[in-house]
Structure 1
Amino acid sequence: SFSGLKTAVIYMVRKDKTLLSRKNIPDLAASFQKAVIDVLVEKTLRAALSYEVPTITLAGGVSSNSYLRSEMKKRAESYGVDAIYPPKEYCTDNAAMVACLAYYKLKKGQISNIDIDAYSQISLKT
């Protein structure tokens, strides 16, 4: 989880509102992305090397991120590990499925309050 990093950014922005200027937002976002990807790549490669895994497969929605793909490929090759991933059109997440479920729940009158908690394993039953 990257909630600690997210919280650090929130506190940093609260402390210095100029970070939210049009000029700074792209740099802030790129810095956040780089920090997350550095950790993902490092931990993935550490695990692959520890277990002598010859090939890493990136999949799911996050694997469509170009920077993640290039960093994983470059750093994996430097350790003699192969990094593979499907074409971007096959790297999706569950957003469409969640939207479809929401549509059918709405049709049945199953509406949630605005302050609903987030659940990572919500039932797909309507």
Structure 2
Amino acid sequence: MRRTVLPVTAMVLAAALAGCQGADPVAGPGTPPPSTARAAAYPVRELPFTLYTHCGVNEVSIEGRWYDAVAPLSDGNGNPPPDWDHLFQEGTMRLTSPTEAEFHDSAGHVVTFRLRPGATEPRMICA
């Protein structure tokens, strides 16, 4: 009888301990969750920013690197949408990762931009 009880008790104990841990056994206690760890690895930077809007909100150069708008904005005729300033929109550019940035302004507009790797100039010259 002892031979049967010992293995069963060990299996029940192991299952109970595994179910109660709650923490990632690989990461260990005190390790932040992956999303927090990623955020800590790339601190968000905010820059005062003047966004050129004359031909709509399509692309932007930030610190010498070109980014495309994830969802370009225009009025359908190559101008900014009606609730945007024409020529320039003042706001803040938040560099949220090595490849993404977000423009925010006091009107509540938010535009996400993604890095265009290898780009050295705009896609189009707006006249």
Greater C-alpha Rg: 2
TM range (shorter): under 0.3
Structure with the higher helix share, 1 or 2: 1
More strand by share: 2
Instruction: Report the TM-score when normalising by structure 1.
Output: 0.21
Larger RCO (CA under 8 A, 6+ residues apart): 2
